[in-house]
Amino acid sequence: MLGSLTRGLRALPPERAHELAMRALRLSPRIYAAEAIGAPATVMGLHFPNRIGLAAGFDKDGDHINSLAKLGFGFIEVGTITPQPQPGSPQPRLFRLPASKALINRMGFNSRGVEHAARRLAQQGGGFSGVLGCNIGCNRETDKAEAYKDYLHCLRRLYGLANYYVINISSPNTPGLRNMQKPVALNALLRALVSLRDELSEQHREKTPLLIKIDPEQSRDQIEAMAEIVQRTGLDGIVATNTTTRRGREVAA
């Protein structure tokens, strides 16, 4: 039966198949919890029950946390969440590469917005015993010189609802976003975010880890420069990596 369902979903456009699978997961009256798989880890002061997690991009708005939690993940990262709702890139924007068992992703930060995500996190976050992360971004139409305000707004609104926060400045599907990884812009952005995080940690009496997500096209020198800025500004870590814009010969359609 599972094979028939899988074949049926693969006959649909990939984004539609994802929507139906997520809806079925949410509406299913009975999902058996996965057995614990062990290999816990403590990172950034957070206890991960296991090291297998769900990256951002699967549950973009935090609508399916409790259902996904039953699959046994050690952590779930929701997002990318933007301040205002936005549709993302025009469809089709998700493409299968069957021979490589891979996907081409051109989603473009489709998001229901931070207010929707905050409500869903407040409703569902407590039902997950693992580590819950929030991935935040800026709106497509925001002037990138002012984009830091989008990140500050999202962090302020979502603080206290997740166990860690990831600053997404590396998606290739939002024009100009990767320019925020350049040293001057990155330093200014991270200083502003760490300052706000420290302010919020006093209010909430809890300091929540803050990370950035980088792209895979960085050179060694660029990575070293970014790592130095991360250390200097007091960020807690780096998420490696975002979507690549390259497709080597080994990736067949």
Query: H-type helices in the chain, by residue range?
Result: 2-10, 14-27, 65-69, 114-124, 147-158, 183-204, 220-233
Residue 145 is given by DSSP the state G
Cβ(66)–Cβ(25) below 8 Å: no
Choose the catalytic residue: 111, 129, 171, 195: 171
Q: Which of 219, 208, 191, 7 is nearest to 98 (CA)?
A: 7
Rounded Cα–Cα distance for residues 237 and 31 (Å): 34
Helix (H) or strand (E) holding 237: strand 237-240
Rounded Cα–Cα distance for residues 214 and 178 (Å): 9
The verdict on whether 67 is a catalytic residue reads: no
Catalytic residues: 171
